Structure 1
């Protein structure tokens, strides 16, 4: 009976083949008598020919700069000779020219050779927003490559460790500890977030007499108010590195800052990991005092209490407290700072921002090296959905990943940029996209609605087509 069943199946398969051959417009006799090349073309006529990866070439790069998501963000589009485009972004508040200057270095190249191109443009990346051009271009190349091969980016990185990526929600701040905590509960915890970060800095207590020292030296002329740590004016407090402000926190100041954390823990409980950021500009001793004072509240981390470059100072802070430490959002490249931080065990966790670190693969390299050093990895992020989903793929492919920042929790403009049914948030996590490339589609109409006054909608950039320098770094 089994033999007869096989014979019947062969007969059915043969009849199906004859039927399909006839329906395809080429009879069986004609097919068998046709030249071999024609036979191959007909047999593969149903194969998707939208992309021939080995023949891809980069033909253009354009920018559309948006704002209100909440920060200004230049979006990069890299086009090819086959009609496939890839998207990246210059890190939030970065200059689009960080990316445009790379255009002449990548035109005519195959975008699927991501690592090869990265090694050509890597020299033009640097720390902070200056890494945004290289990182954004690298992200767009991975998006292109995934679309060309029809696979999600995480698959190109070696596969995934998880099907969903945990998110941590950024702060919903206030000047009153109780209002602060209630906002976090209502807009974060009640919405399903399982990890939180709150910004508490010395600016919150600067107007309380007796909490800080030396603040008047950093006040605007004619004022006694401490300038903002976010000031971009050279010479002002916000632009003075931590060791050089000589601001100190008194016991009264520590009491006032502790009150914010105590009320928050009393409100949200202890199950939810809670991190602290944007503490202000002060040196090592003040960081240690604050970290020790907050030890009873079992913080997930104390982030960027001093600038990342002070690696030995970071190690001193880390070794002086049981409050975990974390830095890295402004570091470009594994060798640019992360390697030394990890080798010296200067912090408890690393915290790269894919938009500064060098892109998707470099972020995974940082995470993999941290894993070898026994350190976990959080991911910083505050840009558009492009950088968000690029970070999701890097997180999915990196074993020691903990959580990814979602900075635009309540920003409708941010969500409007996603045009399809892509799920961003599901009970504290984002599902890893399974579609090719970054795995989601941009809403181009929403991009047009959020353009800055100075930006056009992916206008031509021929002035950036030609290189004007000799780029080799050695003789």
Structure 2
């Protein structure tokens, strides 16, 4: 089997990768809907991959892996890797998890970080109402994640929230504010945590997406202050999101200062950039994204290394779409016992549920997702239904 074409079309706001072969087998991969601009980055790899055997996934990856980078640019490589595994599974007539060593669980746990409504404001009562709504959704999620501080409008809407540099109208997703947090800002965050925990109790767990943007002294003080609320984790306080570095030494000092679990990793590309974070016990939980780290095999390697160091695993995935859900399900079915749950992804538009083939009507039941038993990553796109969402330049995307 040989690759004859590598294509990329933006459907809705998701760049979708399609790898075509001389045997009629094709594979699909999906990029987050926040990264519509990555189409040319995907197509950059076309000439390198044409003629290669897509079932030799690692050999193909050796040709392109070095051209990726931290979020967002690792996404192009990652989505191609997903499409290669999709082909490999279809060629072997097995789900991809069988090719990754086989499943260790029949269902995969997910948490709610993406099914949300627009919050009515940034006051404690607004946060309480928001997590109550998230917890009451029919999926019965065991945990919800809420953005606070620099990962929310709080940084702009709470007067004198911090004393640092402010980004206004940056024009792109992921611009970072950073600065020392004021006493008013600190107390406001704490009031919001108290309000959310009063609503959720111990029936639904709470994690906080915090940044990045914090400096270490504020992060230590806040992590210590919220210890009594038994949060699942504090995410991306120091680095994360679109920050192209890790800073494991600072994370280690934060982690050793508190019993509140510290989490990071969604923006990190490749296992090599997790090495110090894991081997120095710099965090308690890592959250790589299979659509940013370099693919599902890369994520599994990192999960196994973290397992040997007693570090927990909770993969990121908030905007990865429904094909991205297939990638998450397959890899997380194979992860060791340090796996907690992955972040259930949403798509850019509600009509995606009408054009993706292979998902049950109710995907999440009691915070669990069944494995996909179809070959490959288990999902496909209906070309007839998707045709009306294609741009004119992508009219041939679904051709053999």
Quick check: TM above 0.5?
Answer: yes
Counterpart secondary structure, 1:111:
coil
Moved more, 163-172 or 112-121: 163-172
**Residue in structure 2 matched with residue 317 of structure 1 by the alignment:** 254
2:368 to 429, 445, 465: 429
Q: Is the 8 A contact 1:278 1:303 kept in 2?
A: yes
Deviation at 1:388, TM superposition (A): 1.4
The equivalent of 1:356 in structure 2 is 292
Deviation at 1:279, TM superposition (A): 3.6
CA contact 1:300–1:324 (8 Å) conserved in 2: yes
Equivalent in the alignment of 1:412: 350
Query: Out of 306, 310, 332, which is 1:395 matched to?
Result: 332
Is the partner of 1:160 in helix, strand or coil?
coil
Distance 1:366 1:232, change over 3 A: farther
Q: CA deviation at 1:115?
A: 1.1
Does the residue aligned with 2:269 lie in a helix, a strand or coil? Answer: coil
- Distance in 1 of aligned mates of 2:23 and 2:44: 23
5+ residue gaps, structure 2: 241-245
**SS at the partner of 1:88?**
strand
Match of 2:161 among 212, 215, 224: 212
SS in structure 1 of the partner of residue 249 of structure 2: helix
- Measure how far apart 1:362 and its partner are: 0.8
TM-score, structure 1 normalization: 0.75
Q: 1:12-71 CA deviation, whole Å, 9 max, x = no partner?
A: xxxxxxxxxxxxxxxxxxxxxxxxxxxxxxxxxxxxxxxxxxxx111111112023xxxx
- Are the counterparts in 2 of residues 63 and 458 from structure 1 also a CA contact under 8 Å? no
Q: Which residue of 2 aligns with 1:339?
A: 275
Q: What residue in structure 2 maps to residue 167 of structure 1?
A: 110
The equivalent residue for 1:78 is: 19
Q: Which runs of 4+ in 1 moved over 6 A?
A: none
Equivalences for 1:283-322 in 2 at 5 Å? 283-308=215-240, 309-322=246-259
Compute the displacement of 1:180 (Å). 2.9
Deviations 1:404-444 (A, max 9, x none): 11242896234234234535212211111111001123233
> Highest Rg: 1 or 2?
1
Instruction: Tell me, in whole angstroms, the C-alpha distance in 1 between the residues paired with 2:111 and 2:385.
Output: 25
Aligned Cα root-mean-square deviation (Å):
2.5
Instruction: Between 134-143 and 177-186, report the one with greater CA deviation.
Output: 177-186
Note the C-alpha offset of 1:205. Answer: 5.8
Q: Equivalents in 2 of 1:280, 1:119: separation in Å?
A: 32
> Which structure features the higher share of helix residues?
1
Q: Is the 8 A contact 2:32 2:291 kept in 1?
A: yes
1:45-84 mapped onto 2 (5 Å cutoff):
56-67=1-12, 72-84=13-25
Whether the 8 Å contact between 1:408 and 1:414 is mirrored in structure 2 is no
Cα distance in 1 for residues equivalent to 2:48 and 2:22: 17
Equivalence map 1:375-394=2 (5 Å): 375-381=311-317, 382-394=319-331
CA contact (8 A) 2:14 2:348 kept: no
Post-superposition Cα deviations, 1:263-292, rounded to whole Å, max 9, x if no partner, equal 111111123221101445231112112222
- TM-score scaled by length of structure 2: 0.88
Deviation (angstroms), 1:455: 5.4
